Each structure stands twice: as structure tokens, then as C-alpha cells.
Amino acid sequence: MLEQWLNSDAVFLTVALLASTLRMATPLGLAALGAVYSERAGVINLGLEGLMLGGAFFGILGSYLTGNAWLGVLLAALAGGIMALLFALVTLRYKANHVVAGVALNLLGLGFTTVLLVAVWGNRGKSPDVAGIYPIYIPYLSDLPIVGELIFRQSPFFYLLIILMILSWLFFYRTKWGLRLRAIGENPAAVDSLGIPVFTYKYLAVIAGGMLAALGGAYLSLGELSMFARNMVSGRGYIALAANILGNWNPIGVVLASFLFGLANAIEMNLQLYGWPTQFVQMIPYVVTMFVLGGFVRKVQAPKALGQHFDRSNTNM
């Protein structure tokens, strides 16, 4: 009886849909976690798209140059960190408007990766196939019915996402550094008056955020296609930003929001398969975010000092 149910079409299709939901959610979740770090430190990160694209490109480049996909992942994180450092310099040190600088970062990401794509491989559209990162079947657990297929046959990036989500939550809510970072996003002057190096925290948070977003991008290239294609992130950076808001700037919340958006993505893929219109399903993340921010669903609260410049000379001490 149970066996029959487990082998039924309905269960098979549902499990397949949920498994692809987790796959779709992985890059969104990683990038959204990155946004949490940056925005909790008070820096609006509109450049997720560019950071993800950078991660996607350098992941493939690293794998291509070394033949080792994991070194590709390392290079992707490094590139994301460097791009984020530039972004941090421009916004924190040189006081550019965060949104404007984010737009520039996205333009730079698309322009630079495409120019490099042609420079390295002489192809305008895509890179050759390289060694990728493939799903891992966790021994024994992957043999379990349903959950085995659903959770324990995923990409290493998915396991990484879950681990980073838990670590990030512990960091933000169970360590003094996390508490300070959250406080900096609310009231940097007060934190500064306690003698805590506000700018160091901000820089490190933005860089960590960039590395996480780049990992999300690396999943798209190394984890899914084993190659890079021009503009392959195609708007996922904005969805990750939406997930960050819907998840209320909380590591667990944003990953759950990513799952929701991943489900929309998975449904869309299935509709496409049957030739049905996908546009309205694709809208779901954006519409949900508008409803949430418009105060129709539940209250979310952005860090109070988000997007503001902090300048020690302005504070009277």
C-alpha cells in the first residue's frame, strides 16, 4: 500500500517539483544571505546582480584555468570579495549614493564579464564546458524515500547554503559581533561612541556579502551548466534582493523566502514545458515583495540607518 503510494505519479511529480524548488532557491538564498550582511551594516546592496555575474564568470574561469571546479568556487568568492571591496570604497569612503553605486556595479558586472568572455574564449555568447560542481548523494540518507531524493541528492552549494544560514543566524543573534553589526545598521553613531570600529565592521560585512552573492552566481555557472553564458544571472539579483526584504533581513527568513521564490521558479519551468504562459508565475516574487513592503501582508522593518552615510566628523563627541 505504502509502496504503491510512494511510486504513484502524484508523489513522483511533487518530489520532482520540490527538488527543483530547492535547486532554484540555492543561488537566490546565497545572494540574499549576502544582502543581509551588507544591509544589516547599513549599506543598500543593489549590486547583487553584478556580484552574482562576477561570481558566475570567475567560477568558470578558475575551473577552466586549474581544471579544479572547487578552485573555481574559491576564485569566484575572491572576485566577489574584491568587487564588493570596490563597492564599499565607493560608498563608504567616497560617499557615493548606495543605489547609484549599485546600478554602476551591475553595469560593470555585465560589461566586464562579457568583455572578458570574448577576451578569454573569443566567444560572445558563452564559454566552453568546464569541470563543474555536481550533486552529491549523501550515503544512506539519499536512499530514504522522498526526503532522500528531495534533500540528500542536492548540489554541495545547497548544503553550503543551509550551513551558512545556520552560522549566519548564530552570528547575528548569538555573538557580540553580530549584535554590533545589527546595531551599526540602526544607529552607527551610538555604536561608534562605544569605541567600536564602525567602518571596519561595515567593510567586512559588505565584503562578506559580496562573497556570498558571488557564491550564488558560481552555483548558476559551475553548479548548473558547467559553463558561463552572457548575462546568465538574468535578474536573479533583483529577486534575491526581494527575498532579503520578504525575509525581513533575517538569515533564516531570507532563505525561506528564497524557497518560496524558488517554488515559483520551478512551477514556471513546468509551465514552460507544457507551453503555457509563464509570465504571471514569474511575477510572483516581485508582486509578493510589493505587497509586503506596501504593508498589506505583514510588517517588515529595514535597518534604520540603511543607505545613510556615516561620518565620524559629523557626530558631536
Contact residue for another protein among 46, 51, 79, 84 (CB under 8 A): 46
CA–CA separation, 56 vs 185, rounded Å? 29
CA–CA separation, 218 vs 215, rounded Å? 5
DSSP 247: T
Q: Using the rule CB under 8 A, give the single segment among 75-83, 104-112, 145-153, 163-171 that binds another protein.
A: 104-112
- Output phi, psi for 50, to 5 deg: -65, -40
Q: Using the rule CB under 8 A, give the single segment among 22-30, 115-123, 201-209, 214-222 that binds another protein.
A: 115-123
Judge whether 145 and 2 are in contact, CB under 8 Å: no
Minimum distance, C-beta of residue 249 to another protein, in the bound complex (Å): 13
Judged by CB under 8 A, does residue 294 bind another protein?
A: yes
Judged by CB under 8 A, does residue 302 bind another protein?
A: yes
Q: Would you say 116 or 146 has its CB closer to another protein?
A: 116
Q: Would you say 139 or 294 has its CB closer to another protein?
A: 294
Judged by CB under 8 A, does residue 95 bind another protein?
A: yes
CB atoms within 10 A of CB 122: 7
Length of the chain, please? 317
Contact residue for another protein among 20, 66, 114, 142 (CB under 8 A): 114
Contact residue for another protein among 76, 101, 213, 215 (CB under 8 A): 101
Contact residue for another protein among 159, 171, 199, 286 (CB under 8 A): 286
Judged by CB under 8 A, does residue 283 bind another protein?
A: yes
3-class SS of residue 275: coil
DSSP 307: T
Q: Would you say 102 or 223 has its CB closer to another protein?
A: 102
- Who contacts 213 (Cβ-Cβ below 8 Å, separation ≥6)? 30, 31, 34, 35, 45, 48, 51, 52, 55, 80, 84, 237, 240
Longest dimension (CA), the chain: 74
Per-residue string for binding with another protein, 228-247, x by CB under 8 A? --x----x--x--xx--x--
CA–CA separation, 110 vs 55, rounded Å? 12
Judged by CB under 8 A, does residue 115 bind another protein?
A: yes
Q: Is the C-alpha dihedral spanning 80, 85, 90, 95 positive or negative?
A: positive
Q: Which residues bind another protein (CB under 8 A)?
A: 44, 46, 90-91, 93-97, 99-101, 103-108, 110-112, 114-119, 122, 124, 230, 235, 238, 241-242, 245, 277, 279-280, 282-283, 286-287, 289-290, 293-295, 302
